[in-house]
Amino acid sequence: MQLNQSTDIGLRVVMLLGTRGGKTTVDELAQSLAVPRNHLAKIVQRLQHLGLIETIRGRGGGVLLADGATSASIGGLIRRLEADGEVVNCDTPACPLRTGCRLRGALRRAQEAFYASLDEVTVGDLLHAPTRDLLLSLTSR
């Protein structure tokens, strides 16, 4: 299974904000993560709607990790960012095996096992060394 690029960047944003401990700007995040600003702004908006980050508008505004976000499950976060996408799409174009194929069910179970294994990992778990040190080095760019 491969995560979409927005999910990958969203996880990195949450981890980076978790190490910074204060607010930062979308421009600073985009530069630190080497991501186009407009793409990152859409991801930040999605993370805000999910309640993982807070945004403050205006002069002196910025982005920061929401209270309690470090206890969020990575499995749950990925489920929400991936928007219930399946490993395979049997509907478009319509697969002639749909009515009797067992592959889709097997892949759904495998996908759920993948998420379940990540349910045990929290955002806070990802913020320890050596990852923390790497994330902090991105802030000095």
Residue with tokens 């790497």: 134
Structure tokens at 64: 């920061």
Q: What is the pLDDT of residue 93?
A: 86
Contact 72, 124 (CB under 8 A): no
Structural domain count, the chain: 1
CATH number at residue 54: 1.10.10.10
- What is the pLDDT tens value at each position of the chain, 141 positions in all? 778 899 999 999 999 999 887 899 999 999 999 999 999 999 999 999 999 999 998 888 899 999 999 999 999 999 999 876 778 888 888 888 878 888 888 998 999 999 999 999 999 999 887 777 777 777 644
Q: What is the pLDDT of residue 140?
A: 47
Cα–Cα distance for residue pair 102/55, rounded to 1 Å: 45
Q: What is the pLDDT of residue 84?
A: 67
How far is the first Cα of the chain from the last one, in angstroms, to the nearest whole number? Answer: 32
Structure tokens at 124: 């806070």
CA geometry: angle at 83 spanning 78 and 88, to 5°?
95
Structure tokens at 35: 């991501």
Contact 88, 107 (CB under 8 A): yes
Cα–Cα distance for residue pair 56/64, rounded to 1 Å: 8
Domain boundaries, position 86: 5-138
Produce one character per residue of 12-39: b if its CB has 16 or more CB atoms within 10 Å, e if not: bbbbbbbbbeebbebebbbebbebeeee
Question: What pTM does this model have?
Answer: 0.84
